[in-house]
């Protein structure tokens, strides 16, 4: 495809991508507000609560779920993972082939790009490094990107043709040692709702790239632009949309998880007796370490350092706590985290952004001290 054709294609579809991104984000947030902690009848969304986490791992049955399409029912007898495309030695792996390959375990956080609350969880993942499979398939010279495709299928917006959920990632990220084809979570085989029998796990990147129910890894060369990916509008999702005057433009792809934090105690709207309380929560910074967390009990007028419980590591979250002496009254507690590069969470949403992603401004929780 020529460059001018590609830019023309994007401009014709910009309205569509923007509309579908908003639709998905609003749908997730609307459901999130009404269903804290409980799975919906719709199996595509289930929220997770940090209050359920003891230690650092979210219990498997409390892991958040956010999917575009209904969960496919896959048989271990027939499931295959194909590694193909611009490779010299295409592979087809059965489930036994995957299980009988050397694995790596990694504690890692998964966060939906549209998370404000409830769409983030942390688990111990076990799987086969994707780099090993791609190298075994021998990528051809010029291969730069990889399409990951799941078995789930549907229309991204009504009346559009059905397509398998898929994402295109840079080859470099797929060859990173931490990137896995995961088949276990917290020591158990993946639950169906989290991608059984195998999914991609892309540590440090927002969850949309960790394709669930993975069936296909297609290595792409410079001339390979998968038609369905572009015609379904998949390419226009998870982009940063920024308003410039009256115009909106895509300024880049959403990928790396931004520094963020959340409260696990007190719960929103808690009624407490006057006294001392350990305010608790988690902080994370994608592929970076968390440097510090601060808490404000006076609507952001003053900030005090919270204690990090243990050493912060890339890809996972760290627990923090803060001793708060709660006087009578209504209170708004706020938190903010800083990554080791010195980047703090923003105080508010960038007003020029019109998409629904990277919602990492200060979290807050309101409570009443009686």
Partner 1 sequence: MQRALILIPAVLGAGFLSLFSTAPFVPARAAVQDAPLLSDLEGPQSRQALARLQQFFRTVPDARVPAVLHEILEETTAAAAHTMILEEYQRRKLHAQGRATLEALNKEHPARAIYAIDLVQLAVLEGDLDRAKADLRSAAARFPNDTELHASLGRWLYGRQQTDLALAELLRAQRSGLNDPQTNLVLASLLARAGALEDAIDTAATVVFTPGLDPVIRGEAAALAGKSHAILRDEAKAVEFLERAIQLSPQVEDYYLSMASAYQQADNPAAAVQALKRGWDRLPGAPGIGQALSRQLLAAGAAEEAVRVLALLTSRHPDHGDALRLLAQAHRSAGDAAKASQTWRRLIRQQPRYPMANIFLAQSLAEEGAPPGQVLAALDRAEQISPQDADLYYLRGRIFNSLGRHQDAVAQLQRAIRLQPGFSGAYYQLGLAYQQLGQPELAQEQFRRRSHLEEGTGRSR
**Kind of pairing, strands 180-185 and 199-201?**
antiparallel
Bridging pattern class, strands 214-220 and 80-85: parallel
Select from 94, 186, 231, 354 the one that contacts partner 1 (CB under 8 A).
94
159: number of Cβ within 10 Å: 5
Q: Counting contacts by CB under 8 A, is residue 357 touching partner 1?
A: no
| DSSP string across 124-178 | EEEEEEHHHHHHHH-BPTT--EEEEEEEEEE-SSTTSPPEEEEEEEEHHHHTSTT
Q: Which of these, 269, 237, 216, lies nearest to 112 by C-alpha position?
A: 237
HSE-up (13 A, CA, CB side) for residue 225 = 12
Does position 131 bind partner 1 by CB under 8 A? no
Q: Does 102 bind partner 1 (CB under 8 A)?
A: yes
- 305-324 residues near partner 1, rule: CB under 8 A: none
Q: With CB under 8 A as the contact rule, which of the stretches 39-47, 237-245, 270-278, 357-365 interacts with partner 1? A: 270-278
Closer to partner 1 at the Cβ: 85 or 266?
Answer: 266
Does 252 engage in binding with partner 1 (CB under 8 A)?
no
Kindly write down the DSSP assignment for every residue of 184-246, as one continuous string.
EETTEEPPGGGTTT-EEE-TTB-GGGS-SSEEEEEEE-TT---HHHHHTTGGGSSEEEEEETT
- For position 97 contacting partner 1 by CB under 8 A, the verdict is yes
23 binds partner 1 (CB under 8 A): no
Q: Compute the radius of gyration of the chain from its Cα atoms.
A: 21
Q: According to the binding rule CB under 8 A, does residue 39 interact with partner 1?
A: no
Those residues whose C-beta lies under 8 Å from the C-beta of residue 39, and which sit 6 or more positions away, are 46, 65
Q: Which residues contact 274 (CB under 8 A, 6 or more apart)?
A: 326, 327, 328, 369, 370
Of the two residues 137 and 146, which places its CB atom closer to partner 1 in the complex? 137
Site stretch for partner 1 (CB under 8 A), options 43-51, 90-98, 112-120, 286-294: 90-98
Nearer to partner 1, 334 or 367 (CB): 367
Tell me which of 41, 88, 96, 141 binds partner 1, using CB under 8 A.
96
- Does 76 help bind partner 1 (rule: CB under 8 A)? yes
Distance in Å, CB of 205 to partner 1, minimum? 26
- Using the rule CB under 8 A, is 265 a contact of partner 1? no
Least Å distance, CB 274 to partner 1, is 9
Neighbouring C-alpha atoms within 13 Å toward the C-beta of 9: 16
Give the range of 22-30, 210-218, 272-280, 355-363 binding partner 1 by CB under 8 A: 272-280
Using the contact rule CB under 8 A, the part of the chain among 61-69, 99-107, 257-265, 347-355 near partner 1 is: 99-107
- 8 Å CB contact between 296 and 304: yes
Closer Cβ to partner 1, 13 or 135, answer by number = 135
Residue 259 CB contacts under 8 Å (≥ 6 apart), including other chains:
283, 284, 285, 286, 288, 290, 337, 338, 339, 343, 344, 345, 360
Considering only residues 137 to 196 of the shown chain, the ones binding partner 1 according to CB under 8 A are 189-192, 196
Our CB check for partner 1 shows the closer of 274 and 310 to be: 274
135 touches partner 1 (CB under 8 A):
no
Which spans of this chain sit near partner 1 (rule: CB under 8 A)?
73, 75-77, 94-97, 99-102, 189-192, 196-197, 271-273, 275, 368, 370
């Amino acid at each position: 495809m020529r460059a001018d054709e590609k830019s023309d294609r994007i401009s014709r579809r910009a309205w569509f991508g923007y509309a579908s991104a908003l639709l998905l984000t609003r749908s997730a947030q609307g459901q999130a507000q009404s269903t804290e902690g409980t799975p919906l009848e719709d199996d595509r969304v289930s929220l997770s609560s940090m209050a359920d986490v003891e230690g650092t791992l979210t219990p498997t049955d409390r892991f958040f779920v956010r999917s575009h399409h209904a969960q496919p029912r896959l048989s271990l007898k027939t499931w295959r993972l194909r590694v193909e495309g611009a490779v010299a030695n295409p592979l087809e792996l059965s489930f036994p082939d995957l299980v009988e390959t050397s694995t790596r375990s990694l504690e890692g956080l998964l966060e939906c790009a549209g998370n404000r609350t409830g769409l983030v969880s942390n688990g111990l993942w076990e799987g086969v490094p994707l780099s090993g499979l791609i190298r075994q398939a021998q990528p051809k010279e010029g291969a730069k990107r990889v399409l990951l495709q799941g078995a789930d299928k549907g229309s991204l917006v009504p009346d559009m043709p059905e397509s398998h959920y898929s994402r295109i990632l840079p080859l470099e990220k797929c060859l990173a040692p931490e990137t896995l084809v995961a088949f276990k979570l917290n020591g158990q085989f993946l639950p169906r709702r989290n991608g059984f029998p195998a999914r991609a796990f892309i540590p440090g990147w927002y969850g949309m790239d960790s394709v669930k129910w993975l069936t296909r890894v297609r290595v792409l060369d410079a001339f390979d632009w998968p038609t369905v990916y572009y015609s379904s509008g998949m390419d226009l999702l998870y982009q940063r949309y920024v308003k410039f005057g009256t115009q909106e433009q895509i300024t880049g792809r959403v990928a790396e998880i931004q520094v963020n934090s959340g409260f696990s105690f007190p719960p929103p709207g808690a009624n407490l007796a006057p006294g001392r309380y350990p305010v608790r929560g988690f902080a994370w910074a994608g592929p970076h370490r968390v440097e510090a967390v601060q808490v404000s009990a006076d609507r952001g007028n003053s900030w005090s350092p919270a204690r990090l419980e243990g050493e912060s590591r890339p890809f996972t979250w760290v627990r923090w706590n803060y001793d708060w002496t709660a006087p009578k009254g209504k209170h708004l507690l706020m938190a903010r985290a800083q990554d080791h590069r010195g980047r703090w969470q923003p105080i508010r949403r960038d007003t020029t952004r019109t998409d629904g992603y990277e919602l990492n401004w200060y979290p807050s929780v309101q409570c009443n001290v009686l």
